[in-house]
Structure 1
Amino acid sequence: MTAPSPTTSTRRVLVEACCDSVPTATAAVGFGADRIELCGPGDGGTTPSLGLMTRCRDAVRVPIHVMVRPHTHSFVYDEDDITVMVRDIEAARAAGMDGIVVGPLRADGHIQREQLQALVSAAGPMRVAFHRAFDRTPDATDALATLLEAGVGLVLTAGHAPTALAGAATLRSLRALAGDRLVILAGGGVRGDNVQDIVADTGVAEVHARSTDPTIVRDVVLALEGA
């Protein structure tokens, strides 16, 4: 698939594209994505290889946030997992990544505060995002407070719902609580035919779309530019 060259946009909503390869990343940027979330293989994405990180850094000029997830068993990590994640964060920094995406939970679903703080500390000066493990926590407001305390910069969430449209009311509430301290990144079923409603119902300034099929990103960008 050949994507058009990226153009300057006056669009007020940032579009992040979830990509798992160089072709999907370059296509997404060509269609207007403003930021890449780069993942490796596995359900929900794992840490991409160093080779994939560096090649994507060469290929695109938008910010890249890299998934740091050592396995897909769960979001519960042991000491060895955290050691691996810290070393992957160091590799991401060396590869020129702009941010990392993490999501450590406890067995009861609450955010694992100590592990999160260790990952945030290891990430400096890269930005830290918390992925949709957030939607598995028992209380969205409590989870948001934990992220704010840890210094997380943004959270990808559908508002504790299967899709961002279904969770619009919670997304709006979270955005109000976070203010300008943390970005609420709306994700989950974001498509060209619903993104305007999601933005209108939530007030978010950033949305997340999967780019395994880059035409999804194309349609989202076109819908927002036509808003």
Structure 2
Amino acid sequence: MTLLEICVDDAAGLDAALAGGADRIELCAALELGGLSPTPGLVALAAKKARSARAMVRPRPGDFVFNAGDMAGMLAEIAAIRATGIEGVVLGASLPDGRLDVETLAVLAKAAEGMGRTLHRCIDLVPDMAEAVETAVALGFDTILTSGGALSAPQGLDALERAHRVAAGRLTIMAGAGVNAVTAPQILARVRLGALHGSCSEPAPEPGEKAQRLGFASPLRRMTSTTRVAALKAAIQAG
């Protein structure tokens, strides 16, 4: 059975994803920025509520080229996440040319030894997907989250299929970006991946006028929909 991972960035999203039947939760903050490291409180809640959860380790928005300060912060985050007892972490680091930063990833992966480790969509920047998959295997990752280097997973099916073939069961290729109840069957009909990843979100209600006026609102903020999670879960099971 294909595992369903849902990314959430608040307590309500965690509850909605679990109610909809998510098999695993990816914990983040600020999904509208592509997902940053979650708050300690959200990680603690997931440790109590979720059977399986992994926390994003990404200290800032933007690219995945990290300096020494970023690195120190990420190592501290991994230690704090480990202490909660949740299953794993979601990691990534790039060189300026888009290739995986093997040196940084090796340090991060070692710090997370014994935990589940997902290589995130920094892999969608690489010039050679097959080479990157081999690198991820060598570093001990058990999962790669990727859209196949495209804006959405349905657009990146050729690369997803190639990555799945190169992985050859040594790790799981998990399709993400544009994954929903409509596109999931299309993806799985082409390549039977071990996992799919989605947000299953809908626009969040607008905050009050004063909050907007003072700049406290995020116009791109969304919220997890239990209905959409359940529909995606059903589409996977039907396939």
- TM-score using structure 2 length: 0.86
1:213 aligns with 2:214: no
1:164 aligns with 2:164: no
Deviation at 1:127, TM superposition (A): 1.1
1:105 aligns with 2:105: no
Q: Secondary structure at the match of 2:153?
A: coil
Give 1:178-189 correspondences, 5 Å limit. Answer: 178-189=167-178
Hey, what does 1:134 align to over in structure 2?
A: 123
Hey, what does 2:45 align to over in structure 1?
A: 55
1:19 aligns with 2:8: yes
1:225 aligns with 2:237: yes
1:201 aligns with 2:190: yes
Deviation at 1:145, TM superposition (A): 1.6
CA distance in 1, matches of 2:135, 2:237: 34
CA distance in 2, matches of 1:25, 1:202: 29
Question: Which has the higher Rg, Structure 1 or Structure 2?
Answer: 2
Q: Secondary structure at the match of 1:197?
A: helix
CA distance in 2, matches of 1:194, 1:104: 28
CA distance in 2, matches of 1:66, 1:204: 22
CA distance in 2, matches of 1:46, 1:225: 30
Hey, what does 1:29 align to over in structure 2?
A: 18
Moved over 3 A (4+): none
1:45 aligns with 2:45: no
Deviation at 1:108, TM superposition (A): 0.9
Equivalent pair of 2:37/2:57 in contact (CA under 8 Å): yes
Matched residue type, 2:66: Y
Q: 1:122 aligns with which of 111, 118, 142?
A: 111
Q: Which ranges of structure 1 fall in alignment gaps of 5 or more residues? A: 1-11
- Count of residues paired in the alignment: 215
Matched residue type, 2:237: E
Q: 2:82 aligns with which of 83, 93, 98?
A: 93
Equivalent pair of 2:46/2:86 in contact (CA under 8 Å): no
- TM-score using structure 1 length: 0.91
CA distance in 2, matches of 1:100, 1:54: 14
Matched residue type, 1:81: D
1:67 aligns with 2:56: yes
